[in-house]
Structure 1
Amino acid sequence: MGTTPSSAHNFAVRCYENLRNRLNHVDEVMKKQTKKRVLDARLRLKTSIDAMRWLMFQACPFRGNDESEDSKNQGNFKEMIKLLASYNKDVHEVVQNAPRNAKYTSATIQKEIASIFAGKVKTSIKEELGNSKFSILVDECRDESKKEQMAVVLRFANIEGVIREHFLDLVHVRDTSALTLKNTIIAVLVDNGLNVQDIRGQGYDGASNMRGEWNGLKALILKECPYAYYIHCLAHQLQLALVAASREVHEVHNFFQHANFIVNTVSASPKRNDELLENQAAEIASEIELGELDTGRGANQIGSLQRAGDTRWSSHYKSIKSLLKMFAATVTVLRSVAADRSATRNSRGDAGGALKILLTFDFVFILHLMERIMKITDVLCLKLQHKSLDIANALDCVSNTKVLLGELREDGWDNLFEDVKSFCVKHEIDIPDMDQKYVDVTKSRNKHDNTTVIHHYKVDVFNVAIDQQVIELNDRFSSHVTELLDLCSSLDPRHDAFSKSKICRLVEKFYPADFSSQERDRLECELPHFQLDTFNHPEIKNCKSLADLTKGIVKTGKSSDYPMVERLLRLVITLPVSTATAERAFSAMKLVKTRLRSKMGDGFLCHCTLVYIEKELAAKFSSEEIIDIFDTGARKAEFKLIEM
């Protein structure tokens, strides 16, 4: 028998050893190669997911104008993948050696990943909602491509008793008729596994297609769910009230027109704006040197004049504050333009006209008056946009605003008048003789009218401007002091308005589907104990609203002692206050879909907007979770991504 390496015996020995070593078997080698391919594919997909997550969180575009291999800029998505690959050797290897059918960078893959993110976010919202009743906040707006989009937001109290307002969907609608909106809303709720019968509130603006008593959206939803009570957006109500009040006093109405003209004239060119900033900086430095201004971090910052917007009353307040702060710098710029012979005749004429208006006692007086009025109403404007505000607390804020306006009317004249005179002296503005007869050049002269100048400004302007604000607030918000809201306000045990009979009537009349007769009896028994307990409990007695009260009784465990009271509180704080969250969705939509991205599909727009707005929820999902539910269609069998 031969003993050479090539002998039959040695060959047989080697075959036997190979047979015993399973790692060298063909099936094991194939498994090892398959496993590596799967891991490489998962790493490529994870890279694409991470790149998309960052771009969606920042509302950045994905695709570029030229995504070819020799392009110097392949768009944000592919350039982000390149960046990630440059910092990781493994990522670089799998990206560079990716098969042509498994790069995971196509537009189809991007849409699929975005839809998975959106689906996870919606699932998370539904889990947080649980079995709670909810309200819907709806508004519509046209996007950059002139398509009408409708935003749907859910408002509810979560398991901890905290008010949540979550953006649920953005849907393209053919028109804004009430029937179209109603069918679309119901379709959105059904698609997301929500029951229409669980709606306990509707929040819209005051358009006729929304609030119509017979064929409006609120009426059609009420036919589907009789307990979906409609609340006209309080922030929108306030906007309408304040705008209407300003138009009733022609001096105030003219003031806002003049203020816009002045701001537009000063901001007409970058040169004027730069000159305004230079003058403002010089003025601040001079006042600091004279000790008229305090110094400190963040103080005395240089800004620009703000334009007043048509749909946001707060923007009027910002415009007035900026004009008051930069009054001297504005005067200097207007004088410079009016005296500049190199400027056009129209520019010099506009600057001269604006300067003439600006340097009048009438303009300065109303400037200071509106600054004081709007300092009060601006707080209400901002409060009504808070997500955590409940309906009872919102109405309290309205009442407080009316009280403060009344105090300004009674006690604010002397301080205002002294401030106006000091301001006029500082800026060399002529102060009229207050005791002389006032002549209104806009009206025909009346020989028997002995109105003095001071009477005009105090009675005809100061008093009337404030009175109109209060009148409009009463008119606009009186419709909301209905039986429902009056009964809701009786729930706070810390106030004298707490009434057991009113609370029982609230449940019996407005929430019969949420309480059985036995539960209503139990609620009646719980109320006296609840009032005493919450009034004396150290962690609850300092709660400032029904929303805080609900959180407090859940946190302290009192919800188990008063389950019926807690249920009623949850229903009340679910009632919508404003549609600010829905409007914020449109702000996000306009960031996602811009003029350069006007061809973005509705589905992709909805997914990206949802992830961008609810990024706090989307950030909870790891890339591996997205991979595990990623459906690659025909490629699934080849790469076995799900079976890893």
Structure 2
Amino acid sequence: MAKQALAFRGDDESIESSNHGNIIEIVDSYRRMNEEVAKVTLKNASANASYTAPGIQKQILNIFAKRVRKKICEELRGSKFCILMDESLNEGKKDQMTIILRFVYFQGFVRERFFHVVSVSDTGAATLKNKIDKVFTKYNLRVENLRDQRYDGASNMCGQWNGLQALFLQECPYAYYVHCFAHRLQIALNTSATDGDVVYLFFEMLTSIINVIDSFSKNVYELKCIQEVEVVEQIATGELETGKGANQTCNLQREGATRWSSRYYSIKNLMKLFNSTSFVFKNMIDNGLIGKIHGQALGAFRAIRSFDFVFCLLLMGKIMRITNALCKSLQEQSQEIINAMNLVSSTKGQLEKLREDGWVGFLASVVSFCASHVIVAPDFNAPYLEGTGHPSQQLNCVTIEHYYRVQVVYVVIDFQLMELNTRLNEKTREL
């Protein structure tokens, strides 16, 4: 139950209760299945020897934990090791630090063991260093055997002078600090997605559109039904090919806070379900809904049918198709660092090619998408009007085509390249 994060205690553990909580109910189940267990279970035990009190449960868990840590130390056998660490909040909103050890087992296999959870008063580098030192001393882990530090990119961890990695380097010059490539890529892509105003607004609206659909099970069911009808019609007209595993129905996917790939699949699924999603919103508006729900549906419908949204949807879908391949490759356990840097270089090359030579083809795909979904595309040779369109606000006399190409496409790709060059550079490769 500790491994599965299940609650031990029940709300009501009295005899009259229909649910005594996980511990007592599990013990009672074993009592009914095993006569030997039944002899010593709760009903037959003396009142002061039932061993179900919270304090006793924690003591038992503590005994298990000590035996596990002792076994890990035996596997380590005083050899060189790496430390992986992160801090987080527990259910009681208290800071805690997790410690993971990575080492080569004496049989030649790499072992990665979850070793300890330590409560900390704050997440300052000095506090974390002091807590780790105490753990090392208690279990006879020598700092001079430390060969690798792996933390996130927070300043208290990676600070060059006073960060946790710098404090360990002062004691052991071989304890190199490595920031996970996949996490660096995650930060780079998230940063580039929030720095540009146009893209930031796009992701905000994307989240709002998905939330409006997912808020009601009726909408999700209707979206699925419409999608199934469309698939049947497209197969009948020859637009889709049939085959094993082909043309599977899907749902709109919410983006995850810590998984960049989830944003790509959010965009990919919305592109696939664009007509179906628009139809659901139209039904919500036409069905006479009032108040907040009607307003949300109307706002989402207007957004999804706007050219700005469609342009960003296709742009981010094209860019993130490139970066998603890199993201998946960097998360493979067998990935080597040299090959990883080559993949980074390849991704940069594809983005640069898209910036230099991809505009004409991309614009054609946008126009085609708008035509097939009955969305009005602007005259790209017309002047772009800033602000409210008043003549006094038109500081840059540029065309609509120039605006979308230079101030949207180029800016987004340049942000991506800048972040990739900063966080995944040659210095990392040399280390």
Question: If the length of structure 1 is used for normalisation, what is the TM-score?
Answer: 0.60
Displacement of 1:399 after TM fit?
Answer: 2.2
1:209 equivalenced with 2:156 (yes/no): yes
Question: Which one-letter code corresponds to 1:118 in the other structure?
Answer: A
Q: Partner residue of 1:231?
A: 178
3-state SS in 2 of match to 1:150: strand
1:323 equivalenced with 2:257 (yes/no): no
Q: Partner residue of 1:589?
A: none
1:263 equivalenced with 2:201 (yes/no): no
Distance, in Å, in 2 between the alignment partners of 1:458 and 1:162 is: 52
Distance, in Å, in 2 between the alignment partners of 1:117 and 1:63 is: 19
Change (3 A) 1:162 1:322: farther
* Partner of residue 242 from structure 1, selected from 171, 180, 189: 189
CA deviation vs aligned residue, 1:237-272 (integer Å, no higher than 9, x gap): 323322332344433222222222322333343443
CA deviation vs aligned residue, 1:374-420 (integer Å, no higher than 9, x gap): 12222333344445545444433322321232343355445433433
Distance, in Å, in 2 between the alignment partners of 1:405 and 1:295 is: 33
3-state SS in 2 of match to 1:176: coil
Q: Partner residue of 2:200?
A: 253
1:86 equivalenced with 2:32 (yes/no): yes
Map 1:613-624; keep pairs closer than 5 Å: none
1:121 equivalenced with 2:68 (yes/no): yes
1:76 equivalenced with 2:22 (yes/no): yes
Distance, in Å, in 2 between the alignment partners of 1:123 and 1:387 is: 27
Displacement of 1:445 after TM fit?
Answer: 5.0
Distance, in Å, in 2 between the alignment partners of 1:128 and 1:293 is: 56
Question: Which one-letter code corresponds to 1:439 in the other structure?
Answer: L
Question: Are 1:173 and 1:180, in contact at CA under 8 Å, matched by a contact in 2?
Answer: yes
* Partner of residue 132 from structure 1, selected from 53, 66, 79: 79
Question: Are 1:164 and 1:388, in contact at CA under 8 Å, matched by a contact in 2?
Answer: no
Distance, in Å, in 1 between the alignment partners of 2:42 and 2:196 is: 70
Distance, in Å, in 1 between the alignment partners of 2:338 and 2:137 is: 31
* Partner of residue 195 from structure 1, selected from 142, 145, 162: 142
Question: Which one-letter code corresponds to 2:82 in the other structure?
Answer: S
Question: Which one-letter code corresponds to 2:14 in the other structure?
Answer: S
Deviates more, 1:347-356 or 1:409-418: 409-418
1:172 equivalenced with 2:124 (yes/no): no
3-state SS in 2 of match to 1:262: helix
Displacement of 1:302 after TM fit?
Answer: 3.8
Displacement of 1:148 after TM fit?
Answer: 0.7
Distance, in Å, in 1 between the alignment partners of 2:160 and 2:124 is: 14
Q: Partner residue of 1:357?
A: 303
Distance, in Å, in 2 between the alignment partners of 1:342 and 1:66 is: 43
Question: Which one-letter code corresponds to 1:320 in the other structure?
Answer: I
Change (3 A) 1:202 1:294: same
Change (3 A) 1:127 1:374: farther
Distance, in Å, in 1 between the alignment partners of 2:64 and 2:114 is: 14
CA deviation vs aligned residue, 1:65-95 (integer Å, no higher than 9, x gap): 2223333222222222222333334433453
* Partner of residue 400 from structure 1, selected from 342, 346, 349: 346
Question: Are 2:42 and 2:50, in contact at CA under 8 Å, matched by a contact in 1?
Answer: no
Displacement of 1:174 after TM fit?
Answer: 0.8
Deviates more, 1:121-130 or 1:134-143: 121-130
Question: Are 1:163 and 1:388, in contact at CA under 8 Å, matched by a contact in 2?
Answer: no
Distance, in Å, in 2 between the alignment partners of 1:302 and 1:475 is: 40
Task: State the structure with more CA Rg.
Answer: 1
Question: Which one-letter code corresponds to 1:136 in the other structure?
Answer: I
Map 1:16-35; keep pairs closer than 5 Å: none
Distance, in Å, in 1 between the alignment partners of 2:352 and 2:222 is: 41
Q: Partner residue of 1:35?
A: none
Q: Partner residue of 1:379?
A: 325
Q: Partner residue of 2:383?
A: 437
Change (3 A) 1:163 1:409: farther
Distance, in Å, in 2 between the alignment partners of 1:57 and 1:298 is: 35
* Partner of residue 315 from structure 2, selected from 361, 366, 369: 369
Question: Are 1:151 and 1:170, in contact at CA under 8 Å, matched by a contact in 2?
Answer: yes
Distance, in Å, in 1 between the alignment partners of 2:56 and 2:332 is: 37
Map 1:411-422; keep pairs closer than 5 Å: 411-422=357-368
Larger RCO: 1 or 2 (CA < 8 Å, sep 6+): 1
Deviates more, 1:271-280 or 1:216-225: 271-280
Q: Partner residue of 1:619?
A: none
Question: Are 1:340 and 1:348, in contact at CA under 8 Å, matched by a contact in 2?
Answer: no
**Count of aligned pairs between the two proteins:** 428
CA deviation vs aligned residue, 1:284-342 (integer Å, no higher than 9, x gap): 34334444334555544444322334443223212212221221121112212233333
3-state SS in 1 of match to 2:424: helix
Distance, in Å, in 2 between the alignment partners of 1:159 and 1:383 is: 29
Question: Which one-letter code corresponds to 1:145 in the other structure?
Answer: G
Map 1:337-356; keep pairs closer than 5 Å: 337-344=284-291, 346-356=292-302
Identity of aligned residues (%): 45
* Partner of residue 167 from structure 2, selected from 204, 215, 220: 220
Distance, in Å, in 2 between the alignment partners of 1:440 and 1:65 is: 61
Change (3 A) 1:106 1:297: farther
Q: Partner residue of 1:587?
A: none
1:287 equivalenced with 2:228 (yes/no): no
Q: Partner residue of 1:474?
A: 421
Distance, in Å, in 1 between the alignment partners of 2:278 and 2:346 is: 37
Distance, in Å, in 1 between the alignment partners of 2:84 and 2:319 is: 30
Distance, in Å, in 1 between the alignment partners of 2:308 and 2:272 is: 18
Q: Partner residue of 2:373?
A: 427
Unaligned runs of 5+ in 2: none
Distance, in Å, in 2 between the alignment partners of 1:119 and 1:404 is: 51
3-state SS in 2 of match to 1:95: coil
Displacement of 1:180 after TM fit?
Answer: 0.9
Distance, in Å, in 2 between the alignment partners of 1:317 and 1:294 is: 24
Distance, in Å, in 2 between the alignment partners of 1:287 and 1:166 is: 51
Question: Are 1:163 and 1:387, in contact at CA under 8 Å, matched by a contact in 2?
Answer: no
Question: If the length of structure 2 is used for normalisation, what is the TM-score?
Answer: 0.87
Displacement of 1:96 after TM fit?
Answer: 7.2
What root-mean-square deviation, in Å, do the aligned CA atoms of Structure 1 and Structure 2 show?
3.0
Distance, in Å, in 1 between the alignment partners of 2:288 and 2:273 is: 25
Unaligned runs of 5+ in 1: 1-54, 489-644
Deviates more, 1:374-383 or 1:364-373: 374-383
Question: Are 1:164 and 1:387, in contact at CA under 8 Å, matched by a contact in 2?
Answer: no
* Partner of residue 308 from structure 1, selected from 255, 263, 287: 255
Distance, in Å, in 1 between the alignment partners of 2:373 and 2:349 is: 34
CA deviation vs aligned residue, 1:1-45 (integer Å, no higher than 9, x gap): xxxxxxxxxxxxxxxxxxxxxxxxxxxxxxxxxxxxxxxxxxxxx
Change (3 A) 1:408 1:233: same
Deviates more, 1:138-147 or 1:408-417: 408-417
3-state SS in 2 of match to 1:328: helix
Q: Partner residue of 1:272?
A: 219
Q: Partner residue of 1:62?
A: 8
